[in-house]
Amino acid sequence: MTAETLALFPDSARIDDTGSLVVGGCGVRRTADQFGTPLYLYDGETLDRAVEAYRTALSRCYPGAAQIAYAAKAWLCSASARWIAAKGIGLDVVSGGELAIARHGGVPADRIHFHGNNKSDRELAQALDAGVGRIVVDHPDELARLDELAIARGRRQAIWLRVNPDVDTDTHHHTQTGHAASKFGLSLRDGTAEAVALDALRRAGVELAGLHCHIGSQLRDAEPLAVAAQRLLDLAARLRDATGWQPAELSTGGGWAVAYTAEQLADLPPVETYVARVSEAVVQRCRQHELALPRLVLEPGRSLVARAGVAVYTVGAVKPAGDVTYAFVDGGLADNPRHALYGATYTALLANRRGDAARQRVHVAGPYCETGDVLIEDIELPPLVPGDLLAVPVSGAYQLSMASNYNAALRPAVVWLEDGQATLVQRRETLDDLLRRDLV
């Protein structure tokens, strides 16, 4: 195993004298014996450092007020919500379910932003009744419905408008969200964003607090993010000229990339590169338009939690098949569909022993009834035997949150590791869980 591969793992990761992986002061082999596999491990130290990296970058780069708001869609459970509450950061949710988990975990309602392009009346009412800090309005119909619901409750709800800035990004087309044809946001190109903003300013049940955009995920170039921020501030200047209104807050979303392999790590710009360029763009455009600096809100998800997470699988068999060899493990498509959806690349290491110097090329595949149930293609590993453990780094985002019960699989347990303590924060599903919703 190379140092470059270990660098993908959580900050606390090391290899002990037996060649086994240790994370958070806990041996992965012993932790897997205790809780079973598939198993997801989260390192508290790495999570804390990721938040501090953003805080430090904002304090260095942006002269105005700023806020970090974690994007819950990357990974959310009651334990992560409690961590968010303790860190004093905000939280973006996109469903009534995420809002319920956030509140159960103790996240203050005024630090919650409710996003989503198709919120139901029930979800809007849930958000209003919970007292969420911001509701992010995606289209004119939602604005009208929210205004009516707020007035009925005697409330004036603070909102942002999600603006589609018509910015292209160099990332997978499934994660591009700021181009003109995206399903998200109010178009700048056709004037809808400006018209809806003017409408919002006339309504009694809402208070327009700011503008928001999100242009995509796994972004390695900060320039499209800077352009998006500039276009939102151009809109703000037009609104100021027409009405006197200025945005108290500006959210440029999230989307900064993480590295999943050593090759990607070599050319990954640091978080501060992204924060610095967006901050510079906001400051310059505000100066140009004579706008007051808004509170700058950044919404990292993957870049806060991905590297803190490790997925651990048990090898069941090694099977030659034509020109390839498969290493079968006890997880895959059901707990991590990202390779099947996006062609996402991963690496892995043998976690329970020191491997031989010899290497074997394998496809790491799961037990599910899909040819696409492959986690890693063509990876070089020591010769594997049944019972070996494979640890897959950078598994903390968009895996558990996209996990399913395909083939009636049981979703994995989740363990929080910190200071040598392994705490079970989500138990493994049981067969009873699978049957609980059935009525006949």
Catalytic positions, please? 369
Residue 375: name the closest of 318, 416, 333, 324 by CA: 333
- Cβ 252 vs Cβ 196: under 8 Å: no
Helices 96-104/78-87 angle, 10° precision: 70
Length of the chain: 440
CA distance linking residue 141 with residue 164, whole number of Å? 16
CA distance linking residue 299 with residue 27, whole number of Å? 33
387: amino acid identity, one letter: G
